[in-house]
Structure 1
Amino acid sequence: MPLPSEPLRKLGFLTIGLFDDADPRPGHESTLEIIRLGEELGFDSAWVRHRHLQYGISSPVAVLAAASQRTSRIELGTAVIPLGWENPLRLAEDLATVDILSGGRLNPGISVGPPRHYDQIKRALYPDSADAEDFSYERVRRLLDCVRGEPVSDFGGTEGFEVFSQRVQPHSPGLGRRLWYGGASLRSAEWAGRHAMNFLTSSVVKAEESEGFAEVQLSHIRAFRAHHPDGDTARVSQGLVVIPTDSATSAQREKYERYVAERTPRTAVPQGPARMMFARDLVGTSAQLAGQLYSHPAFREIDEVAFALPFTFEHEDYVQILTDLATKLGPALGWAPR
C-alpha cells in the first residue's frame, strides 16, 4: 500500500498513440519515441491503448514489437486488447512472438464483450459467423489456455520434413503470468482473480454498488484479490489520468486545466445504460497530486500504477508530463527510477 511511509513500487504510463489520417507515420513514430523516453527516464512500464477504426493504435502488438527493438528494459503492455476483434489462438502466437523478441517484457492486457458498433461492422469482421460469435469470458479462457501452453491440436509430430506442435508456438513460459484483465465491473474483477490473471483498473468503472468512483474501484480491487490464489499480493495496476505541471509553461498549464475542466462534468453522475462512472482527471503540481492520490482509497490499496496520458496533447506536452512524472511525482510517492 503506497502510504507516505510505503513507497510506490512500479511507475508506468499509458498512451493512446494518435496519428493523422493523411500521414500516420509521424504519430506512430511519436509513440515509439515516447516509449523510448520512458525507458530513459526510468519508468517501469509503458502501455498502449487499442483503437479500431479510429485514429489511434489499431495494432498494439505490432507497435510493441517495434518498441521492443528500440528499448532494452522497460516493460511493454496493452491496455487493453478487446478480444471481440481477435482469434485467441492467432493472438497468442503474436503475443508469444513479441514477448520472446522483447526478452520477456510483454504485459498483455485484454478485455471481452462485443466490439463497439458491432451491428455496423460485424459483416466485415465475421461475415460467416457474426451472430454465432461468443464474446463472453470463455474467449479469455481460450486465450489463457493458448498462452499457457495447453494443447490446441490433436496432432503433433513429424509429417514428411515438417514438425508440428500440439501447442501454440513459440511458447514463452513466463507470459502466462503476465496476462492482465482490464475490468470495470465486480464480476470481471472476481473472474480475473479466479483465473489467476493480473488486474488493470482504470478511470472507468460501473456504478454497481454505489456512485462513488473511489469506493467502487476499491471494492473491485478487494474482490479481485479475495478470489485470486495470491491473495493480497495479487498484482493490480491503477490507471488514472494524472497531469503534473511542475515544469509546464503557462500556456501548457492553461491547456491542461481547460482539458480537465471540459471532461469533469461527466464525472458527476453515471453515464449511459451501463452506468459507467469516470474518475476526475488530476492536474497540478506533484506535491498537490501526491496529496490527492494518498487520499484516494483505491490508490492506497495498490503499489503500481500506469498513469494515463491525455488523449489530444502534442508530443512536447507528453515529454513534459513524462519528465515530471518520473522526476517529481514518482519521487513524491516514494518511487525511484530503475
Structure 2
Amino acid sequence: MVKPLRKLGFLTIGLFDGDDPRPGHEATLEIIRLGEDLGFDTAWVRHRHLQYGISSPVALLAAASQRTTRIGLGTAVIPLGWENPLRLAEDLATVDLLSGGRLNPGVSVGTPMRFEHVKAALYPTTADHEDFSYARVERLLRYVRGESVTDATQEGFEVYSDRVQPQSPGLAERIWYGGGSLRSARWAGENGLNFLTDNVVRAEESEDFGVIQRDLIRNFRERHPRKDSARVTLGVVMIPTDSASPAQKAKYEEYVRKRLPRTERPQGPARVMFAPDVVGTTDQIVEQLHAHPAFHEVDELAAALPFTFEHEDYVQILTDLATRLGPALGWNPVRPNGVAGSPGHG
C-alpha cells in the first residue's frame, strides 16, 4: 500500500535575461508567492554561478520571505565550495529570522564546477589549500549551532560575541544535504542531516535509476539517529498536462524527448545517471510514480520545474500539481489559515 504524500514542494532555477535581469528575479518571486497561494509546503530554488539562473539564493529568499507568510523556503543546493561557512552561517540565520523560521538550507560539497576556469577569481591566493570535503559542512553546522568561534569578546569599548550572530534556534535541524552517491547518503545520515535526492545519481551498484535512488535513501536512514523518521525529499521533474493547451503539451513532450537519451546509460568517468522526466496527465504520472522504487521510501516530494519554459507554463504546471496531482497522491494543500499541513517548516 502506498502511503499518502505528506509534503509537496517545487523547485525552480529562476532564469533571467543577462541584459535585463530584474524581470526574471521578479518572476521567480511571483512563482514562490503563487506556490504559497496554491498550498505548497516548500519552494526550493536552485543555485547557478556564472550562469543566467539564481546565483544568490539566500538573497532571493530574503526577498521571498517578505512577500510570503507560510511557505517553507529552501535552497537546492548551495555548493559550499563557493562559500565561506562562517559568512554563510550569518546570512542563513538572518534570513531564517526574517522568515519566521521558514528557511530550509540545502548544501553540498565538492570541488566547484569548472574550478580550473574560476579558481583565480574565486580563491586567488588559497586555491591549492581550500578544503572542499565534508569538513566544510561540519564547519557550517558548528557555526549555525552556536559553537564558539573566538575567545576575544571585548576590545576597548567594543563588545563582541564569541559565536556567529545572529543565532536562529531550530535552523540547524532544517539543514539538508544534497547527495547522489552512497558515500554522501551515508555521511548525511551519520551526521543527522535531512537528505535531498533528485534526478542525478551515481551508478555504483546498479544501472537502474529508481533502484539506485531507493538504496541511497535506505543507506541514509540506516545511519541516521532517527532512522525511518529521518526526512528525505525526492526531487522529480514532473510535468502534468491536465489543463495544458495543445501547444503546451507539444512543447512539454518535445522537451522530455530531447532529454531522454541522456537517461539511457551512465555518463562519464563518474558514471552519472539522470532520471527520465515524467510528463502526462495526473493518472499517467501517478502510475509512473507508483512504479518508481524510491517513491515508496518517502512522503515528501519536490516537483522540479523545467529550466526553459515560460512563466505561463509554470503557472499551469504548479496549478495542476496543487489541484490535481498532489491530491491524487494523498496530499492536502495548506490553506491560507495554515491548516492541513505543517505551517512554515517545509
Distance 1:209 1:256 in 2: 32
What's 1:249 paired with? 245
Within the candidate set 294, 299, 302, 2:295 is matched to 299
Q: 2:36 aligns with which of 34, 39, 56?
A: 39
| Match in the other structure for 2:340 | none
Structure 1 residue 287: Cα displacement: 1.0
- Give ranges in structure 2 of 5+ residues lacking alignment: 335-346
Find 1:126's aligned residue among 123, 136, 139: 123
Q: Percent identity?
A: 72
Map of 2:15 onto structure 1: 18
C-alpha distance in structure 1 between counterparts of 2:144 and 2:210, whole Å:
33
Displacement of 1:7 in angstroms is 1.3
Aligned counterpart in structure 2 of residue 135 of structure 1, from 132, 136, 139: 132
Summarize the alignment of residues 273-312 of structure 1 with structure 2, pairs less than 5 Å apart: 273-312=269-308
Deviation at 1:48, TM superposition (A): 0.2
Question: 1:104: which partner in 2?
Answer: 101
1:216: how far off?
A: 0.5
Alignment match, 2:202: 206
Give the deviation of 1:148 after TM superposition. 1.1
Distance 1:277 1:151 in 2: 41
Question: What is the distance in 2 between the residues matched to 1:21 and 1:113?
Answer: 27
TM-score by length of 1: 0.98
Once the two structures are TM-superposed, the CA of residue 144 in structure 1 deviates from its matched residue by: 0.8
Q: Partner of 2:33: helix, strand, or coil?
A: helix
Aligned counterpart in structure 2 of residue 323 of structure 1, from 305, 319, 325: 319
Q: CA deviation at 1:239?
A: 0.3
* Distance in 2 of aligned mates of 1:275 and 1:235: 27
Partner SS, residue 288 of structure 2 = helix
Q: State how far apart, in whole Å, the 1-side matches of 2:14 and 2:82 are.
A: 19
Alpha-carbon distance in 2 for matches of 1:299, 1:153: 45
SS at match of 1:97: helix
Distance, in Å, in 1 between the alignment partners of 2:144 and 2:189 is 17
User: Would you say how many aligned residue pairs link Structure 1 and Structure 2?
Assistant: 334
Cα distance in 1 for residues equivalent to 2:150 and 2:279: 51
User: How far did 1:152 drift?
Assistant: 1.1
* Residue 243 of structure 2 corresponds to residue 234 of structure 1: no
Secondary structure in structure 2 of the residue aligned to 1:298: helix
SS at match of 1:165: coil
CA–CA distance in structure 2, aligned partners of residues 69 and 78 of structure 1? 17
Report the Cα distance in structure 2 between the residues aligned to 1:212 and 1:295, rounded to whole angstroms.
12
Runs of 4+ more than 6 Å apart: none
Say which is worse superposed, 162-171 or 86-95, in terms of deviation. 162-171
Q: Which residue of 2 aligns with 1:185?
A: 181
* Whole-angstrom CA distance in 1 between matches of 2:170 and 2:39: 23
Letter of the 1:192 counterpart: A
CA RMSD in angstroms comes to 0.8
Matched position secondary structure for 1:71: coil
C-alpha distance in 2, partners of 1:302/1:154? 44
| Alignment match, 2:158 | 162
CA distance in 1, matches of 2:158, 2:100: 27
Unaligned runs of 5+ in 1: none
Q: Which amino acid aligns with 1:51?
A: R
1:92 aligns with 2:99: no
d(CA) in 2 for partners of 1:319, 1:82: 28
Q: Give 1:273 shift.
A: 1.3
Per the alignment, in what secondary structure is the counterpart of residue 110 of structure 2? coil
Separation in 2, partners of 1:208, 1:195: 22
> Using the alignment, how far apart are the partners of 1:96 and 1:160 within structure 2?
28
Query: 2-side partners of 1:229 and 1:57: how far apart?
Result: 34
Residue identity opposite 1:234 in structure 2: A
